[in-house]
């Protein structure tokens, strides 16, 4: 396993009136982050929040290319980010849900105390399969066929690239002491965006560079192939 210090390249916040940052996602232009009673859009260039949507938002956030998905309590809400309209609601997995990501037509939901990640059907909320971790799981993201998740245990957090079949840790980025990770999302390129929990901050972390390889990167594992 490759292990190295995380390189924080930018901090955002704290933001007025926001005490906690929970889930984090990225729509290709803005970072969206959950803050309890709202999900907020942040311009990563200016560092300014540009709008917010009133929706219960206490855990993971995801974007499917068109819609936002937001966990709060025992529900996942599907929201139109343009209008703020609630489009659908599905049950969230039972447990302490934390992070959430979208990949290959599926939701991936991290569970904190249960130390696992579920692949979830976005139409029904059915759990399709589960990946186990050995640390408390926070944010979850997919990038270039790689599954990454954040951890937060005590005062220590890290970002982990894990095998999507076995949960084996392949690579780890250690966050500085007392810098915690709640939500996690990739921008699809060289940065991870990390929610900072009760610090009220967001942080951009440099994603490790990859050697160029021939052919396409592997896609997220589809449940039909299991």
Please work out, in degrees rounded to the nearest 5, the angle formed at the alpha carbon of residue 60 by the alpha carbons of 57 and 66.
90
- The number of folded domains in the chain is 1
Q: pLDDT higher for 102 or 223?
A: 102
* The pLDDT of residue 154: 86
Domain annotation covers residue 225: no
Question: Structural domain of residue 9, as residue ranges?
Answer: 2-208
Does residue 218 carry a pLDDT above 90?
Answer: no
- How many Å apart are CA 31 and CA 87, to the nearest integer? 21
Domain with residue 125: its CATH number is: 2.130.10.10
Beta strand pairing call for 169-174 and 2-5: parallel
**Which pLDDT tens digit goes with each residue over 146-190?**
999 999 998 899 999 999 999 999 999 999 998 999 999 999 999
Domain annotation covers residue 220: no
Q: Taking a C-beta distance cutoff of 8 angstroms, is the pair 93, 132 a contact?
A: no
Domain annotation covers residue 31: yes
Domain annotation covers residue 141: yes
**Which pLDDT tens digit goes with each residue over 96-154?**
999 999 999 999 999 999 999 999 999 999 999 999 999 999 999 999 999 999 999 98
- How many Å apart are CA 111 and CA 97, to the nearest integer? 4
Domain annotation covers residue 198: yes
* The pLDDT of residue 214: 42
Domain annotation covers residue 120: yes
* The pLDDT of residue 155: 85
Beta strand pairing call for 169-174 and 156-162: antiparallel
């Amino acid at each position: 396993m490759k292990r190295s210090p995380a390189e924080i390249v930018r901090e955002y916040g704290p933001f007025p009136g926001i005490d906690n940052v929970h889930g984090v996602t990225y729509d290709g232009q803005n970072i969206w982050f959950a803050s309890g009673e709202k999900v907020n859009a942040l311009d990563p260039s200016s560092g300014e929040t540009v709008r917010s949507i009133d929706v219960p938002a206490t855990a993971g956030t995801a974007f499917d290319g068109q819609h936002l998905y937001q966990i709060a309590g025992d529900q996942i809400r599907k929201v139109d980010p343009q209008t703020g309209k609630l489009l659908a609601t599905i049950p969230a997995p039972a447990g302490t849900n934390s992070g959430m990501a979208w990949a290959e037509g599926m939701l991936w939901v991290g569970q904190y105390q249960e130390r696992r990640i579920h692949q979830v059907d976005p139409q029904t909320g059915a759990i399709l399969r589960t990946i186990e971790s050995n640390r408390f799981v926070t944010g979850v993201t997919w990038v270039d066929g790689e599954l990454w998740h954040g951890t937060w245990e005590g005062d220590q957090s890290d970002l982990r690239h894990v095998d999507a079949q076995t949960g084996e840790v392949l690579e780890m980025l250690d966050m500085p002491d007392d810098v915690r990770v709640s939500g996690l999302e990739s921008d699809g390129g060289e940065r991870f965006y990390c929610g900072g929990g009760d610090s009220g901050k967001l942080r951009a972390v440099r994603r490790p560079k990859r050697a160029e390889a021939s052919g396409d990167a592997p896609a997220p594992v589809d449940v039909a192939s299991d």
